[in-house]
């Protein structure tokens, strides 16, 4: 993470993303904002979450390791029988891409604010995020 963007490395793939900031004011808190946006995106239910399709599953469910991970796409996203203890094991590539987009948008919004303020929803511009998969054999420098 830095002024040149962010890299996400996971078993599901490698991504590089940037988000344009026209008037940078402070980089303090940008990393915190990126992490907050990334985790917020992963904690939202996805369309394949039973709460979206089955009324019997409606309502809040605990988001703990014992109840489907930490909310990564809902209780169905992380199978309870999986042997991989990685917190991202149950997240698909699309979920990680979406989380990186959200994190970059939040970080860029934070950079556009004075001091260490966290952005409000009105400050977040997802349309400015550019994301691309990486080829691990290609150097990042230019």
Give the tokens for residue 7. 């890299």
Report the candidate in 105, 104, 109 with the shortest Cα–Cα distance to residue 119: 109
So what's the pLDDT on residue 88?
74
Give the tokens for residue 59. 């309502």
Q: In which residue ranges of the chain is pLDDT below 70?
A: 46-86, 138-142
State the Cα–Cα distance between residues 119 and 107, nearest whole angstrom: 8
Strand duo 13-19 + 6-10: pairing: antiparallel
Strand partners for 10 = 13
Residues 6+ apart with CB under 8 A from 8: 14, 15, 16, 17, 96, 100
């Amino acid at each position: 993470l830095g002024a040149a963007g962010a890299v996400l490395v996971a078993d599901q793939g490698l991504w590089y993303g940037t988000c344009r900031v026209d008037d940078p004011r402070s980089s303090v808190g940008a990393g915190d904002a990126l992490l907050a946006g990334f985790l917020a995106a992963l904690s939202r239910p996805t369309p394949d979450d039973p709460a979206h399709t089955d009324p019997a599953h409606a309502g809040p469910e605990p988001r703990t390791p014992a109840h489907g991970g930490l909310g990564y796409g809902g209780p169905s996203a992380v199978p309870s029988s999986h042997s991989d203890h990685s917190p991202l094991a149950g997240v698909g590539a699309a979920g990680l891409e979406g989380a990186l987009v959200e994190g970059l948008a939040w970080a860029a919004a934070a950079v556009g604010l004075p001091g260490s303020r966290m952005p409000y929803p009105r400050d977040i511009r997802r349309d400015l995020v550019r994301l691309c998969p990486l080829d691990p054999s290609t150097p990042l420098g230019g």
